[in-house]
């Protein structure tokens, strides 16, 4: 998983968008959400490697090991940072962590969608 704001990065640098706050080292020139007056404001874009739920555990383990190897490579981590993203911490690069994260996001955004009254009609 990477936490990223890279899709908006280009717009910010060409002056077409203004970023008010950011998380982590991806934007050291920007203040945190807390500093911007938005306590507990935590909305991040992210990327993940996912497979179908019935994928055999051996394949999941093999993919997970390969991903961890790639993310432990300093050149890979630097490239991710150069793209404006925050590379995952080692604990975040596991199927168990991602499962818990996805469930928490579904719960969080499910509540927000229901409270907003938005529908797909």
pLDDT digits (tens, 9 = 90+) for 10-63: 666 677 776 666 655 556 677 777 777 777 666 777 888 899 999 999 999 999
In a domain, 36, yes or no: yes
CA distances to 20, 26, 34, 70 from 78, in Å: 24, 11, 27, 11
- H/E element holding 71? helix 57-71
Residue 116 within any structural domain of the chain: no
Domain that holds residue 17: 2-100
Kindly state whether residue 119 falls inside one of the protein's structural domains: no
Asked if the structure places residue 62 within a domain, the reply is yes
Please check whether residue 113 lies inside any domain of the structure. no
**Rounded CA gap, 33 and 22, in Å?**
7
- Pairing type for strands 85-86 and 45-47 reads unpaired
Residue 73 pLDDT level (bands cut at 50, 70, 90): very high
For residue 30, being part of any structural domain is answered with yes
* Domain count for the chain: 1
Q: What is the pTM of this model?
A: 0.63
- CA dihedral sign of residues 62, 68, 72, 75: positive
């Amino acid at each position: 998983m990477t936490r990223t704001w890279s899709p908006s990065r280009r717009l910010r640098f060409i002056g077409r968008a203004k970023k008010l706050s950011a998380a982590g080292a991806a934007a050291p020139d920007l203040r945190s959400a807390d500093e911007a007056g938005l306590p507990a404001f935590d909305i991040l874009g992210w990327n993940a490697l996912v497979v179908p739920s019935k994928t055999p555990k051996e394949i999941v383990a093999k993919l997970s090991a390969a991903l961890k190897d790639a993310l432990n490579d300093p050149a890979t981590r630097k490239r991710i940072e150069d793209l404006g993203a925050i590379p995952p911490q080692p604990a975040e690069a596991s199927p168990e962590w991602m499962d818990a994260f996805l469930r928490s996001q579904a719960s969080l955004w499910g509540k927000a969608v229901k409270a907003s009254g938005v529908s797909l009609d």
